[in-house]
Structure 1
Amino acid sequence: MASDPHLREELLARTELLKGHFLHVVRDTVRLPDGAEATREFVLHPGAVMVIALLDDGQVVLERQYRHPMQSVMIEFPAGKLDHGEASLSCAQRELLEETGYQAREWAWAGRLAPTIAYSDELIDIWFARGLRLGERRLDTGEFLDVITATPQQLQAWCRTGEVIDCKTLVGALWLQNVLRGEWDLDWQDTASASAAG
């Protein structure tokens, strides 16, 4: 792919605007391709994972969780933020167990998405999990969510009707659809092998 110098911006300076418990917001001063200067405000993010967990009966594991900025309960795939220095797979395994109680025998890395490219550098790794075994959830303090299951067809219908509007879950539904159709391949590994590789 070309280096695209006619599109790229050069970082000149960075100012920290907010460093909270979760959000870290900065303002960059940049030089535009035509030589003019501009500012870009955005959120720095440590990265996250999303898990598409497949049950033996063909259903997928989903969550219903209240999201304060939206003032609404959202249907989502299990997901969570990377801890400092945490590997992507370790985070996926931790989040799936903590939020749903499930552990998986096999894992496959599917891809990566950038959900909010205009105002955050967040990247979300997409993981598939199968061979699920249900145990006890370990929700964080102050975390409240319902674990639900749905067929891929139900999920597709919810995406179409607007019951699912969460960006990462919409992308996950696309991945799921193409994997189930055999159009997109996954490289499945057992938990021990996947942990060593991830």
Structure 2
Amino acid sequence: MSIEKVTHVYTGRVIEVNVEQVRLPNDHLATLEIIHHPGGAAILALDAANRVCLVRQFRHAAGGYIWELPAGKIDHNEPPLQTAQRELAEEAGRTAREWRSLGEFLPSPGFLTEVVYLFLARELSEVASQLEASEVLETHWLPFEQVMQMAQSGELRDGKSLAALLRAAAYVQSPAR
């Protein structure tokens, strides 16, 4: 693939929008609308009681409140783990001694360059949360099994949260049945 031509359309606070003509691997010349995003990190924070931190956050684009894991945008090219650590403190009021990468998630690769880095955080300690003025959210700690049921029922609809839950399941001990 090669980029033949880029027409810049818009630069905002977070994203940049371009119309890009690209030569595809099959030699077809395609005109694509591409949104460039700096990426982000999402955290599945698991406490000693096997509870997951979920935030119930107002998302205008989703039409109201949705459930999701603490997460945020990569600022100033910071490493993804640093983003995760900052967002866990800001949104959940926690730090973690143990961090495990759960890999990457591509939210919508047909037109969006965003990569979301997924992390499992354990051995948590409380700190003061510091929400931004534009963040309207409630923090909840729910049993891992209940959060998995929310994912399976469709009550939890956020893609990055679903991906992190799926990947973290191998590392989380389920209670004996």
Instruction: Tell me whether the two structures share a fold, i.e. TM-score over 0.5.
Output: yes
C-alpha distance 101-33 of structure 1, shift in aligned 2 (>3 A): closer
2:101 corresponds to 1:96: no
2:151 corresponds to 1:159: yes
**Superposition deviation, residue 30 in structure 1:** 1.5
Who is 1:29 aligned against?
A: 21
1:85 partner amino acid: N
CA contact (8 A) 2:39 2:114 kept: yes
2:79 corresponds to 1:87: yes
C-alpha distance 172-32 of structure 1, shift in aligned 2 (>3 A): closer
**Superposition deviation, residue 24 in structure 1:** 1.1
Who is 2:37 aligned against?
A: 45
**Superposition deviation, residue 115 in structure 1:** 1.2
User: Secondary structure of 2:84's partner?
Assistant: helix
Who is 2:50 aligned against?
A: 58
TM-score by length of 2: 0.92
C-alpha distance 109-34 of structure 1, shift in aligned 2 (>3 A): closer
Of the three residues 82, 105, 124, the one matched with 2:116 is 124
Q: What percentage of residue pairs aligned between the two structures are identical?
A: 33
2:5 partner amino acid: A
User: Secondary structure of 2:109's partner?
Assistant: coil
C-alpha distance in 1 between matches for 2:106 and 2:13: 22
Who is 1:189 aligned against?
A: none
RMSD: 1.5
Q: Structure 1 stretches (4+) deviating beyond 3 angstroms? A: 32-36
User: Secondary structure of 1:116's partner?
Assistant: coil
C-alpha distance in 2 between matches for 1:163 and 1:78: 17
Who is 1:190 aligned against?
A: none
Who is 1:17 aligned against?
A: 9
TM-score by length of 1: 0.83
C-alpha distance 89-34 of structure 1, shift in aligned 2 (>3 A): closer
**Structure with greater strand percent:** 2
Of the three residues 169, 175, 179, the one matched with 2:161 is 169
Which runs of 5 or more structure 2 residues have no equivalent in the other structure? none
C-alpha distance 38-90 of structure 1, shift in aligned 2 (>3 A): same
Who is 1:146 aligned against?
A: 138
Deviations 1:125-180 (A, max 9, x none): 11111111112110112211100011111111111111111100111110122222
User: Secondary structure of 2:163's partner?
Assistant: helix
2:61 corresponds to 1:69: yes
User: Secondary structure of 2:91's partner?
Assistant: helix
Which runs of 5 or more structure 1 residues have no equivalent in the other structure? 1-8, 183-198
1:83 partner amino acid: D
